[in-house]
Every structure is written in structure tokens, then in C-alpha cells.
Amino acid sequence: MGKERITLEILGREGLARTGRFHTPHGVVMTPNIMPVINPNIRTLSMDQMKKAGTTCLITNSYIIRRNADLREKALKDGLHSLIGFDGPIMTDSGTFQSYVYGDVEFQNRDTVEFQLSVGSDISTILDIFSTPDDSRDKAADAVRVTAERFHEVEDLAETNDLSGPIQGSIYPELREESARIMSSSGASYLPIGGVVPLLEQYRYAELVDIIMSAKLNSNFSKPIHLFGGGHPMFMGMAVLLGVDMFDSASYVKYAKDGRMLYPEGTRDLKDIMELPYWSPLRDRYTAEELRREGEEKRKSLLAEHNLYAIFMEISEIRERIHEQTLWQYVESRARSHPSLFNAFKRILEYSGKMQDYLELYRKPPFMGFDNLSMKSPYAERLKSLEIRPDSVDASYYYSQGTGMSKKFLDEYYENSDNNYHFTWGELEIPVEMEESYPVQQAIMDGFPSIRVQRPTLINSGHARNFNLEKIRFLADFQFGKNSGKALFPDDSQITVSRSTGRIRTVSLEGKILATMRVHDGYLALTMEGGERIRKSSPEMKNRVMVTKESAEFNSQGKSVFFNFIKECDPGIIPYNDVLVVDPDDVLVAVGRPLVSGKEMMQYRKGVAVSINHHLKP
């Protein structure tokens, strides 16, 4: 019986960033995470020290083990985990980097993979072709082609073992895209992005953004994305924001050897440090001066311990940020700490349009604005899809921050006019109907929304209309598609509002609640009655997740939808925006909140896809 294949189970998300877990024969790996590099010949830190710092998985080099007769014999006899002295998951590299540095290695691709499997590697790596940032496009394309051929050579081994399929392509986005598609469609269950160490060492983070995005958006989302050599804390948060799940690095030792110490925002030389940070494991044992006086080997070990703590402290912070959905805010603020990071963040903003598809409808925390760049984020970018007619009137003068549109404006102008109205929010023009919905009302930013000083001229036509009805129809169109609003909420809908705030609470028809307006994000939550009206009015599969007959029976009783029971879904589904759960006959069995976007949903095979809010049966 073969090993259990790696399948990422997503637990939480913020855009492309995600927390999750996957299983290996030697334990569960929680993501995002990092595999410290272990040199089997040289042990700078003991395994107990590494575990205490946070190590739960490792990576080592099979080429080094295989070339050393003693290491090879012990690994073949007792296994890789006994050789390393570690009982958790171990990934092995193939010697590709050594081939790049020293020339051709003496082993072939298939026997390299077979050796890794024979010693019990949890994730084995093919002998791919390392691409450098200086490679010509033709050379990089050839590396992509040969790497794909080499994986094809061992495709049979991938049927029962976890093999990683490296994504190569140098600095050429179209080659990274091609390589990602090839490896995603292969038997590879793990996708490392290779050839990036030179860029990391040269702080060419903006180019890394292009590489990661090209790889991520063309990869299978159920397979973990690994950034080879990407273990410096200052770039890890940004990489995770772009969809990286795993890292590896020997930086904790390499920097220690040079007398340098890792910090979340960069690197510092020991000779320039006045005192150690509170979080450092060395602080209660040494002063900076005492560290400088230590012997070379002892000092290297101590600095490596500090550096490993710095790495895992950042990993822990990133996971927590995803959990509370503040990673974007964290990365945006951290980007101001270094010019290369800031340039990379500006490059990320160029992808805001593409990132929209994977973005939640709302986040739990408020929208934090720093400067005009904040208005180029994917959340702000999504608002640009709202149609502002050329004849729309700017009503910013009537917008009272914290209380919404003034009663005077509603009574005298909006409800007695055919005009379309908007207000100015930062650099964007927003329809007044979106006044309470995320991120407009939930923004914390100096001067937002902008208030016009001059009072505009508004035309009163004497045509009566209801602001609350227009608002919920507008939101329905925004959430569920054009013309959904009138289909969901007829003219005779009954709207209840809070006595204390005047905000909409529920919308009913003939005594049955169709939807509620959520307080925390200002969006609509459907009931079964509302969901049925959306189903009848929308085209086939629109706003739908179709499940098997077996699953439908459980979902109709309120149990969550799991990925492996989904037959089809609307690719336009937005995470956290209500969806209809239907059986193969398009019978509505539940309404719920999807954890992932429609573009991702059919790729995952494990875990919860939709949590159910309302269901057909008791």
C-alpha cells in the first residue's frame, strides 16, 4: 500500500494567503511553515534546540548523503529519519543547486529520486534544471522543458509517492506560468518555486512578486506552494500574501557564520548591536558584548539559535495574521521598512485586479488605510467595478461620517429624485447605496470619506422612491449579479430597521424573511426563501455549488459541504459571499458561506468548502 498523498486542507484565508495542513507519513505539517535546512555532515544546532525553536519539518540534501559512503550506508540501513535524528516530516533536495554551483552531478534523475524514496524521504525532488535570473529566455525555456521531461521520467513513482515538481523559468513570467501549469497537471503533489535564491540575496523582491504570482495563479491550489531558499523573515509575509505556503532556508546558519542576526524587518551585524531584543532566546544568557567575546564556533551556534527563533517568530506572526485577517495590513505597514520591500509592495498593487477573484467579500477587521497606495488594494479595486453613470451627482456634502447620509438628503433629494448619487471616498466615487458596506464604512483612514466643502446643486423631480429598497437591491446586484435585486426584493417587500440606528435589519415578503443585513460588514445574508428567489431568477449554476445526492441529504440538515462531494460550481463565487447549495436536479438544499473562490473550489479535495447557515430540513 502506497503512502498517503499530500493534499492541502485549507483552514483559514486572506486572499491568496491561507493557513492549512497536509499529511505525511511522519506527521502533519501546518502551513505556512518553514523547513530549516540540515546539513547531514555539520550540525550547528542540536535537534532539541531546533524543535524548541519551532521546527516541525526539515529539508536535507540527498546528494550530500549519497556521495558520503558512511552517510549513505546508514541512511539505506536505518532510514533518513534515523540518520538525521528527527521523527517529523523530512523533505529531500536532489542536488540541483550543487549542479548549478559545481557543474554536472554524477547521478541521473531517476536513480536520484529512487534513492530518496529508498531512504524514506517524505517529499522527494527530481533533478531539475536550475535557472538563474541572468539566463536568456531560450536557456530558461530549455530548463523548463527538460525539467518537465525529467518529471515525466518518474511519473510512475509519483503514483504512490509524494514528489515535488519544481517550477522554473528564470525571470520570465510566461515561462513560470507554463512551468506551473505543467507541474500542476503532472503527478507532482508539491510545487516548489526554484531558481530564486540569487534574487533574494540581491533584494530583487519586485521581480520575485512577478515570479510568485505567475506561478501561483497557474498552479493547482490543492498542492502546497514552496519557495526554495526564501527563509528571510523580512520577505516571508509578502510571499505568503502572494500564496506561498512553505519555505526552506539555511539562512539561520549562513548569517550566523558571518556574525549577522536576523530580525523581522531585516539583518543586523552583531558588532553594531547595543542590546539583544526581548524575544531573543539569548537575552537572559548573554549581553551583546559577551556574545562578541565568545569563540567563533560557539558564537556561530548561538547566533544560529537566535536566527532560527527570529524565523519561527515571523512564521507564527504570519499564521496569526491570516487567522485574524490582518496580513495585508501587516505587509503594507512592513513594506515601509525597506526600499526593496516598498517597491515590491507597489508591484503587488499592479496585480490587484487579478487578486480580486480570490478575495473575500469582507474581512473581520476594519479596512486600514495608510496613504494613497491603500486605495489601489484589491478591496478598493473591487469597488471600481461599480458603475458610476456620467450624470451621477456628487452628494459628498451630505455625507456625515459615522452616521451615513443625512436625513435631509434622503428626504428632500434622494427619495424625490431619479438622480444617481455618489460620494467621494478617497480617490474613488462610490454609489451612496454602498455607504455601510465593507470596506467603505469599515475604513479607518484620515480624511475618509472625503467631504466636499461646496454644496452641490441637486435636482428635485418629485419622483418618490425608497432609499432602503434601492440600497438592498443595489447590494443584491453587487453580491449576486445584475438584476438580482429586483428579483429578490419586489416592490412590496417589508423592510425592518433598528430603532436606535435606523439601519436595515431584515427584509421580508408575505411574512417570510428573505435576507438580513449583517451589522459587521453591511452585506446581505440570504435565508432559504431568499435563496430560492435567487435560484429561480439566475441562470444555471450562477451562485451555485452543486453537490452529490448523498451530500445533499446531509447538507439539507445543516452539515457542511466538503470539497470531495462537489460536482460543479459557479467559477465566479466570491469567498464569504452567500452561495446556494443545490443537488444534481438544482433543488435548493441549503444556503451557506464558501471558504474559497469558485476558481479554487474544484481543485481542493479535502476539508470544508461551504459552511451552512440555513438549510431545508430541521
User: Nearest CA to 277 among 313, 250, 326, 245?
Assistant: 313
CA distance 231 to 202: 14
CA distance 251 to 585: 56
Burial 13-45 (b: 16+ CB within 10 A, else e): bbbbbbbbbbbbebeebebbbbbbbbebeeebb
User: Nearest CA to 13 among 31, 39, 37, 36?
Assistant: 31
Helix (H) or strand (E) holding 561, with range, is strand 561-562
CA distance 45 to 258: 16
DSSP 116: H
581, burial (CB in 10 Å: exposed 0-12, middle 13-18, buried 19+): buried
Instruction: Give strand pairing partners of 614.
Output: 591
Using alpha carbons, list the distances in angstroms from residue 433 to 185, 476, 604: 44, 11, 36
Q: Please name the residue that has the C-alpha cell 535546512.
A: 37
Report the number of secondary-structure helices (H) and strands (E) in the chain: 24, 30
CA distance 135 to 170: 7
Instruction: Give strand pairing partners of 31.
Output: 20
Q: How does DSSP assign 190-230, residue by residue?
A: BEEE-S-HHHHHTT-HHHHHHHHHHHHTTS-TTS-EEETT-
CA distance 121 to 86: 12
Count of C-beta atoms within a 10 Å radius of residue 293: 9
Residue 357 falls in the annotated catalytic set: no
User: Nearest CA to 45 among 252, 294, 277?
Assistant: 252
Q: Please name the residue that has the C-alpha cell 451555485.
A: 544
Q: Please name the residue that has the C-alpha cell 429561480.
A: 536
CA distance 443 to 450: 12
Segments of 15-160 assigned E as strands? 17-24, 27-31, 33-38, 58-61, 90-93, 124-125
What phi and psi values does residue 11 have, to the nearest 5 degrees?
-110, -35
CA distance 36 to 38: 6
406, burial (CB in 10 Å: exposed 0-12, middle 13-18, buried 19+): middle
Catalytic residue among 70, 93, 446, 583: 93
568, burial (CB in 10 Å: exposed 0-12, middle 13-18, buried 19+): middle
Helix (H) or strand (E) holding 579, with range, is strand 579-582
CB 434 within 8 A of CB 477: no
Residues with a catalytic annotation lie at 93
